[in-house]
Each structure stands twice: as C-alpha cells, then as structure tokens.
Amino acid sequence: MGTNALKRCVPTARTVAYLEKIFPQIPQPYHALVPDHRKSTVPQAVTHVSIYPYREKPFVRIADGVYASCPELCFVQLALVLPLHELLKAGDALCGTFFVDPSSRNGLGSRTPLTSKRRIESFVRRNAGLRGSAAAKSALRFVADNAASPPEAFLWSVLSIPHRYGGYALPGLEMNRRVRPSKKARKIAKRETLVPDLCHSESRLAIEYDSNAEHLTSRQIAKDSSKRLALEADGYKVISVTTRQLCDRSEMRSVAHEAGSRMSRRIQIRAKSFGNAQRKLYATGWSLRAYHRREWLKGEVSEGGLKECVQNSESGLEDCIWDGSAWD
C-alpha cells in the first residue's frame, strides 16, 4: 500500500477503541502517520507528519481499515528514536523467527521472519533520502537474521558486535544455520539436519543457548542432548551458555575467549569505550516487555506460564513494534 493510505488517517476515539479491541497487546499512546500538520484529538494517540515520496510500498494492511509501516520502514523509523543497542534488539526481533505467545510454555511462538537484513538494506537503498535511513544502514551491520528467541539474539550481539559497542567482535557467527550431519551423527540425532543456535562452520564451532530448565520439557531436554552429541560426533566443539552465564559479563568474557580460541582468533580489547559500551549493552538486555501492553501480558498469565518468563526477560515480540515507531 502506498502513501494513499495516509489520506484519511485521523485518530479518533472510535479508531482508538477499535485498535484496543483488535490489538490489545499494543501499548498506548498509538502513533499515527498523517499527511499534514494535524494534531490528535484524543490523548491515546500521537500524530506524525509523513510527506516523503516512498520508492516502495511502505505500508501493509494488518486489519480491516488498519495499515502499519512495513517492517523495513519500521526499522528506519526506529533508527530515529532508539539508541543503538535498543535498535539492534528491535531489528533482531523483526528479522527473527519468534513472537510472543502467552499461551505457550515459554511465552514464545515460532514464525517466518517479518523481514531480513537484505530486505531492509534494499528498502534503505531505494529510500536513501528518508530521515533515519543513514542511521538504519549503519546499525543494520550489527543485526542478526533468524534469531529464534530474544536471549539467542542477545548472545549473538555480545559475541559479535564490535568492541566499541560492547561486543567481542567474533566474525562469521551465523544464527540457526541448518547443517547436514554425517551418517553417524544423523543416527545419534535421529534427524536429517541439525540447527545450532550459533555456528561458525569453518572452525566447526557451535554455541548453544541452554534456557532455564523449568521452561523445557523432558522431550526437549533429550532432543537438545542428542543434538549436542551429534555435533560433537562430527567434530564440532559445542559451547553451552546458560541464562545465568548470559547475564554475567565476566562469564561471557570466558565464553568469548573460549569461542575465539576455537576460531584461532585472539580477543584483544583496544577500544577505550568497551567497558562503558558493554554496560549499556547489558542495561538494554534482551527483554521486549516495553513493546507490549502490560495489562495484556498480565491478563494472559497462566499458572507456570508467561509470568515467570516475563520476569526472566525471555518474552518475544510480534506486532507491537508497529505502534511505537510511526514517524519519518
């Protein structure tokens, strides 16, 4: 959908009530793009003028009468207002395979990514004059495709982004890359392919995020164990990272050095800003609670379900990014 979608975009009490009904997870105020300098007449909505002549269709229909910024435009809009680490977290969510599902055991569901680094890059290239495009292009280098959960994405950031931004700058780590194991390994894993959380194929390194045990079924624990044994049978060094380790900067320093050793890459931190940048990275964390309406999360809590997951910051993101970034 092109910019014509904005012509009749006027927030009213009726539209606010409609949005509350069909998207209860979106926090307020709602942010609406409008074609001229008109102010919102309702306190639950904020308007932002958009007159840029987009080169691609910038809006997608997400419900009857409701259009949102496409994921690629969304990332550019977020680049205007978010600090780098928060922007990377949002980008990882847009390019990830997870979404919030309060009814699931760990608070997450699985989906096809809303977008990818390549698609965002294409959008930015075609709309280079759009405010936020330059910042989006710069940050996009440090966004990960195919993260299966927020902690996995954070793990990748800690290990991969440059020293000046608080990471360990280990190159070439791929997320959830499907590998074909040997016959022996397939027999161990009882499956045709294996998907390490993080993988560096050249050095045969796999890094697995071990979520809190209470969030895993006995079947999942057995499956993860067989995957590890199969990878090791094919010569991979498997490093497991627990939630407790991921939360501890000192522990992650040890993980990074162990991974670097396997990759024949010595980690030498020369950036004077590393310590402060890493504190900012950890202060940002991986929680996505701010992108959901608190009442919605609490209303969907079940015994042993999302409540603990949210407290441990393991929840994900689905449609909620749409609302908080609508300006150019």
What is the value of pTM for the model shown?
0.86
| Per-residue confidence (pLDDT) for residue 4, from 0 to 100 | 62
Is pLDDT larger for residue 302 or for residue 29? 29
170 near 259, Cβ under 8 Å?
yes
Per-residue confidence at 103, pLDDT binned at 50, 70, 90?
confident
| Per-residue confidence (pLDDT) for residue 2, from 0 to 100 | 56
Tens of pLDDT, residues 247-302: 999 999 999 999 999 999 999 999 999 999 999 999 999 998 888 888 777 764 33
In a domain, 232, yes or no: yes
In a domain, 85, yes or no: no
Range of the domain at 201: 170-266
The tokens for 287 are 């929680």
In a domain, 154, yes or no: no
328 near 322, Cβ under 8 Å?
no
Res. 311: pLDDT tops 60: no
Look up residue 42 and give its amino acid.
V
The tokens for 92 are 């990882």
In a domain, 43, yes or no: yes
Per-residue confidence at 9, pLDDT binned at 50, 70, 90?
confident
Per-residue confidence at 198, pLDDT binned at 50, 70, 90?
very high
Last residue of a domain, one of 21, 52, 69: 69
In a domain, 118, yes or no: no
Tell me how far apart the alpha carbons of residues 208 and 224 are, in angstroms, rounded to a whole number: 9
315 near 289, Cβ under 8 Å?
yes
Last residue of a domain, one of 226, 249, 266: 266
In a domain, 176, yes or no: yes
HSE-up of residue 144 (Cα within 13 Å, Cβ side): 32
Helix (H, G, I), strand (E, B) or coil at 181: coil
| Per-residue confidence (pLDDT) for residue 289, from 0 to 100 | 86
Average pLDDT, stretch 182-203? Answer: 95
Identify the CA nearest to 89 among candidates 243, 283, 295: 283
| Per-residue confidence (pLDDT) for residue 65, from 0 to 100 | 82
Last residue of a domain, one of 69, 100, 116: 69
Number of domains in the chain: 2
In a domain, 94, yes or no: no
Res. 313: pLDDT tops 80: no
In a domain, 138, yes or no: no
CATH number at residue 247: 3.40.960
**Contacts (Cβ under 8 Å, ≥6 apart) of 311:** none
